[in-house]
Structure 1
Amino acid sequence: MVSAIAFFGAIESGLLFGLVAFGVFIAFRILDFPDLTVDGSFPLGAAVAATLIVLGWNPWLATAMAIAAGFAAGALTAWLNVRLQIMNLLASILTMIALYSINLRIMGKPNVALLGDETIFTPMDNWDLPYYLSAPLLISAVVLVVFVLLVRFMTSETGLAMRATGVNSKMARANGIHTGRLTILGVALANGLVGLAGALFAQSQGTADVTMGVGTIVVGLAAVIGGEAILSTRTIARWIFACLIGAVLYRLVIALALNADWIGLKAQDLNLITAVLVTLAIVAPKMKQNLSKRRRGAQ
């Protein structure tokens, strides 16, 4: 059984990584841009927010600067691809590697603690709710705002042009769409969301670490693919919502697996669990199709 603290902790983590899933969705699904920058922009957002908060900045302003930093990192990756004609995957790897050193420069050390410093979660100390309930509520509000804004953007003229760029860039250019600019904007927006997730994660956990971004892209992909396997993606709103549900369910399954004594899994098995979940998420839609074909054939 999972305790209440572990359950709501998984919900909180799932909501945070839902923001990562939104970013991965934009890069991988909308733009068809394999972007590994998120492994660097996640700790970048955490590093910027934590460092500025320690320096006395308002936590919301520090979070905004973390979003801007992630946005700049994504823009750099796309610029390397669009302007310098570096393959998109390689461009993202180059930026990710560079961000490791940049994050160390920003923090001045491998990690920064936020113990005793004011964060966006500090006002919740006055709420008549335990922290493991109040923190997910605040993060839910942030995720809801991002979800609404993202859906509105993707259904706007610019968003439709961006989606057209990802589906068929040649046809988009033939219709007068500046595909290069939209690619830079899309990848920048994706990493801005990941930077926001990193900033919130650092404030939630009370620390920012240079290695906290390792495997972030895998978690994001697991959320996107898992959500698509569970929910319908007929509309852009459902598609984006599916990413959020995938992130929350992923963290719940992880919590269940690690807290179930009869399974015998430990914290070091986290990557193994992730690999299994991603594999199941990829195979599940194909299994559904084969099962439906067999049923039709039997009829």
Structure 2
Amino acid sequence: MDIILSSISQGILWSIMAIGVYLTFRILDIADLTAEGSFPLGAAICSVSIVSGITPLLASLLALIGGMLAGIVSGLLHTKLKIPALLTGILTMTALYSINLRILGKANVTLLGQDTLMRTLQSFGLENRMAVLVVGGVAIVLVILVLYLFFSTEIGLALRSTGDNEAMSEANGIHTDTMKIVGYMLCNGLIALSGALIAQNNGYADISMGIGTIVIGLASIIIGEVIFHRLSFAKRLITIVIGAVVYRLIIDFVLQLGVQPQDIKLFSAVVLTIALSTPLLKKKSRRTKRVGKRGAELV
């Protein structure tokens, strides 16, 4: 039960990052590698702010803003300088490594003895896992609600239209470059916010904590899509949360079996490969069954 509660609480925090990845990966059809840099950026801004005496809630908001600024940079590089999306993410991610190191001042910053959102709730009598669950639950509900309302507006619909058919959107007077920048901004803002919350939960921010972020985000998205098909936008966001929780459950279960922590990244890549190949395997299975039925009918 302790492992399940821990996986759920951790999965909810990571799901905020996964939703950010979803906005560019599915809405704009871009695999944005900026996530590898904006995630530790959020953690660095939040941790340094808390150590400097800023309240945890304001520090988390500053992390959100910092991630949005990183997203704007990626958006401008991609839309104004016409740099391919993949290279744009690599450039911004590389630049953010130095920026994050500047913010931290060293390889990592500890939050031991500092007030965080989780410790604030613990002071009211909640145990650690429940405090993380409450913080993550409130954060993910707000994120889903805000995104649902935003994508119901004219700008949100224009953003979705840009991802679906850029040429048609331009023909209808939509400034697609602006919409892409907005998408980058929202994506990296949420990723940085997730980094801030996870840093508060872990009790430290580390310069290398963003490695593998994009894999975790994609795995959460794909797992949710494999389990649930053809859903509306709001329901799809909820399935991403479920996918992130399932992913954490799988990882924690594997660790319980004795897999070494240094092999987790490899295992994560294997899980993502299986998740990505599942739809293709299902299609082949259906075709095989159809061919078998036709053969049986002819006989």
Residue 273 (structure 1) aligned to one of 267, 271, 275: 267
For residues 86-235 of structure 1, the aligned pairs below 5 Å read: 86-235=83-232
The Cα of 1:72 is off from its aligned counterpart by 0.4
Greater mean alpha carbon deviation, residues 59-68 or residues 289-298: 289-298
The alpha carbon displacement at 1:233 in A equals 3.2
Q: Which moved more, 1:82-91 or 1:63-72?
A: 82-91
Provide structure 1 residue ranges, at least 5 long, that are not aligned to the other structure: none
Q: How does 1:10-159 map to 2 (within 5 A)?
A: 10-159=7-156
| SS in structure 1 at match of 2:117 | coil
Farther off after superposition, 130-139 or 141-150: 130-139
Pick aligned residue for 2:239 from 239, 242, 255:
242
Corresponding residue SS for 2:109: strand
Distance 2:148 2:243 in 1: 17
Q: TM-score, normalised by structure 1?
A: 0.94
- Give the drift of 1:197: 0.2
After superposition, the CA RMSD in angstroms is: 1.4
| Secondary structure of residue in 2 paired with 1:121 | helix
Deviation string for 1:218-272 (max 9, x for gaps)?
1111111111111123311222222111111001000011102xxx422122012
Decide whether the 8 Å contact of 1:127 with 1:134 is kept in 2: no
2:13 partner letter: L
**Paired residue secondary structure (1:28):** helix
Count of residue pairs the alignment pairs up: 293
Q: 1:285 aligns with which of 263, 279, 283?
A: 279
Aligned mates of 1:113, 1:271 — CA distance in 2: 24
Offset, 1:176: 0.3
Residue 273 of structure 2 aligns to a residue whose secondary structure is: helix
How far, CA to CA, are the matches of 1:70 and 1:126 in structure 2? Answer: 29
Letter in 1 for 2:41: L
| Distance (whole Å) between structure 1 residues aligned to residue 25 and residue 69 of structure 2 | 18
- What SS does the aligned partner of 1:129 have? coil
1:77-112 alpha-carbon deviations (Å, 9 max, x no partner): 010011111111111111100000001111111111
Give structure 2 stretches of 5+ with no counterpart. 295-299
Identity among equivalent positions (%) equals 43
Cα contact 1:22–1:240 (8 A) shared by 2: yes
Question: Judging changes above 3 Å, is the alpha-carbon distance between structure 1 residues 242 and 233 closer, same or farther for their aligned structure 2 residues?
Answer: farther
Distance 2:128 2:34 in 1: 32
Q: TM-score, normalised by structure 2?
A: 0.94
- Measure, in 1, the Cα distance between the counterparts of 2:221 and 2:16: 11
Q: For 2:282, give the aligned amino acid.
A: K
| SS class of match (1:56) | coil
